[in-house]
Amino acid sequence: MLVIGYSASSAAGQILQHLQRAGEATVKELATLLGVSTTAARDHLIHLQAEGLVSVRAERHGPGRPHLVYTLSDEARSRFPKQYDRLITGLLRELIALEGADKVEVLLERVSRRLAEEYADRMAGTEVGERLNELRRLLEQRGVPAEVAEGGDGIRLFACPFYDVAQDHPEVCSMERQMIEYALGEKLALESTIREGAHTCRFVLRSGDIPLTPARPADPVGTQDAG
């Protein structure tokens, strides 16, 4: 498997995957991950910085030299493989351009319901913890690494499936939340987003439940299929 052009098992591939999941890391942490010297780890980071895939900032904790902390660049986030991002992002842009901002929210809710239908059959009849783990597996099959919370009360996505379009249209974050709600049959709170600078999109279970296979809403005025 390739990670932005690098083998997943290569040093660069491991660094990129670790930063995607951990959010940030120091040279020492990455050296430990790779089992190499800090000098060797730093060389890999310099290469990734030159490619525009890694960003660095200095943090000072008390006296002494500041620590350098490495994160993924926006360029890297946008290039991580997302199998269903390309088509849906293109469709979303077209819908927004054609229908206008006043209809975007309704249209996105319809998209979220359609997406949830792909998962619903795999979720029905299981405990919420099992559904969360099944959702994680399905998301990762589609190029979105995810992790179920230790307490089983939510899920974190380490890549934004709609990263590019979300920069201009944050309402797609609500679409993703609704899709996961319909797939799980549980209400969720979106507590952090990659779009706003967090390193994960974090969804937490709320009280209440919703149907696992939601009824599709009637077409809003002005959006019926022509024909």
For residue 152, the domain's CATH number is 3.90.1520.10
Place of tokens 């937490």: 204
Is 216 part of any domain? no
Q: Does residue 97 share a domain with residue 50?
A: no
Is residue 225 very low, low, confident or very high in pLDDT (cuts 50, 70, 90)?
Answer: very low
Q: Does residue 133 share a domain with residue 97?
A: yes
- What's the farthest any 2 CA atoms get from each other in the chain? 72
Q: How far is CA 110 from CA 80, 91, 170, 182, 200, in A?
A: 26, 13, 16, 11, 25
Q: Does residue 112 share a domain with residue 22?
A: no
Q: Does residue 94 share a domain with residue 197?
A: yes
Q: What is the pTM of this model?
A: 0.64
Q: Does residue 106 share a domain with residue 73?
A: no
Is 223 part of any domain? no
Tell me how far apart the alpha carbons of residues 143 and 32 are, in angstroms, rounded to a whole number. 26
Residue of 204, 198, 191 whose CA lies nearest to 154: 204
Is 154 part of any domain? yes
Is 226 part of any domain? no
Q: Does residue 70 share a domain with residue 92?
A: no
Is 99 part of any domain? yes
> Which among 79, 96, 111 is the end of a domain?
79
Q: What is the pLDDT of residues 143-190, one digit of tens each?
A: 788 999 988 889 999 888 777 777 777 877 888 888 888 888 889 999
Q: Which two tokens stand for residue 36?
A: 């190499």
- Specify the number of domains making up the chain: 2
Q: What is the pLDDT of residues 88-115, one digit of tens each?
A: 667 767 777 777 766 777 777 777 787 7
Is 103 part of any domain? yes
Q: Which residues of 143-173 are buried (b: 16+ CB within 10 A; e: fewer)?
A: ebbbbbeeeeebbbbbbbbbbbbbeebebbb
Q: Does residue 62 share a domain with residue 174?
A: no
Residues paired with 184 in a beta bridge: none
* Domain ranges, residue 187: 85-209
Is 205 part of any domain? yes
Q: DSSP labels for 148-209?
A: E-TTSSEEEESS-TTHHHHHH-THHHHHHHHHHHHHHTEEEEEEE-TTTT-SSEEEEEEEEE
